[in-house]
């Protein structure tokens, strides 16, 4: 009866499973923030309530704008001042960092008066990612997946786990999850991929004589 290689198993957990799962949890959490407008609405309300104390703000349209890492929530609010004049606010909130307002245009009506207006310039990464089409991101995802399959096959063929390859696999897997986040694929698909990838990464690290785990005759 073969002996189970606990050192090899420990390395698979420390250098592959743990970092990949930690990065996956971070990306899942960020995916929830990106897909839900609640945090962005709260950020906008805090700004407006601080700028106009006592005003009751009603949310109008919530629109998605931008592409890639430059995705934003466009939020429209309306309210009344104490003197009866209407206020309209059009805010842009970063979807990836929904605590950050990147654009605002607040207008008081009758007579019209702009009380706050500012639009931040997009960052280099936002400009760069916005030029990549959906097909381009799919191609990047396919390349990352192909690299993962190649490394898993190579590691299994060598009959042992290599720490550097495990770390590289963890970051490749996280990179693919990031592509999924940008494309906003279904969270269930992302979860299934993460679980399957962890299983394959753990299994590929077994030496050839231990492919079925401990206790193989």
pLDDT over 70 at 35, yes or no: yes
Residue 208: its pLDDT value, please? 54
Does the predicted model carry a pTM greater than 0.75? yes
> Which range (8-17, 110-119, 132-141) has the least confidence?
8-17
pLDDT over 80 at 209, yes or no: no
Selection from 34, 35, 46 nearest residue 77 by Cα: 46
- Report DSSP state, residue 122: P
pLDDT over 60 at 207, yes or no: no
Q: Could you tell me the residue ranges of all domains in the chain?
A: 6-35+132-206, 38-121
Show Cβ contacts of residue 26 under 8 Å, excluding neighbours closer than 6 positions. none
Asked if residues 117 and 106 have their Cβ atoms less than 8 Å apart, the reply is yes
Query: How many residues appear in the chain?
Result: 217
Average pLDDT, whole number, for the chain? 85
Residue 199: its pLDDT value, please? 87
| Helix/strand/coil (H/E/C) assignment for every residue in 170-183 | HHHHHHHHHHHHHH
Q: For 130-174, what is each residue's pLDDT tens digit?
A: 889 999 999 999 999 999 999 888 887 776 677 888 899 999 999
């Amino acid at each position: 009866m073969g002996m189970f290689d606990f050192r090899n198993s420990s390395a698979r957990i420390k250098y592959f499973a743990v970092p990949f799962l930690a990065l996956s949890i971070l990306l899942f959490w960020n995916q929830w923030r990106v897909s839900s407008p609640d945090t962005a609405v709260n950020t906008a309300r805090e700004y407006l309530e601080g700028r106009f104390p006592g005003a009751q703000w009603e949310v109008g349209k919530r629109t998605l704008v931008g592409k890639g890492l430059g995705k934003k929530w466009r939020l429209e609010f309306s309210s009344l001042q104490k003197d009866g004049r209407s206020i309209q606010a059009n805010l842009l909130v970063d979807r990836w960092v929904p605590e950050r307002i990147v654009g605002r245009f607040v207008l008081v009506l009758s007579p019209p008066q702009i009380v706050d207006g500012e639009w931040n310039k997009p960052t280099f990464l936002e400009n760069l990612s916005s030029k990549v089409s959906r097909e381009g991101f799919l191609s990047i995802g396919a390349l990352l997946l192909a690299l993962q399959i190649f490394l898993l096959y190579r590691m299994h063929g060598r009959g042992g786990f290599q720490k550097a390859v495990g770390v590289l696999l963890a970051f490749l897997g996280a990179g693919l999850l990031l592509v999924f986040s940008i494309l906003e694929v279904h969270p269930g698909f992302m979860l299934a991929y993460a679980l399957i990838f962890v299983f394959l990464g753990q299994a590929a690290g077994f030496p050839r004589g231990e492919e079925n785990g401990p206790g193989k005759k």
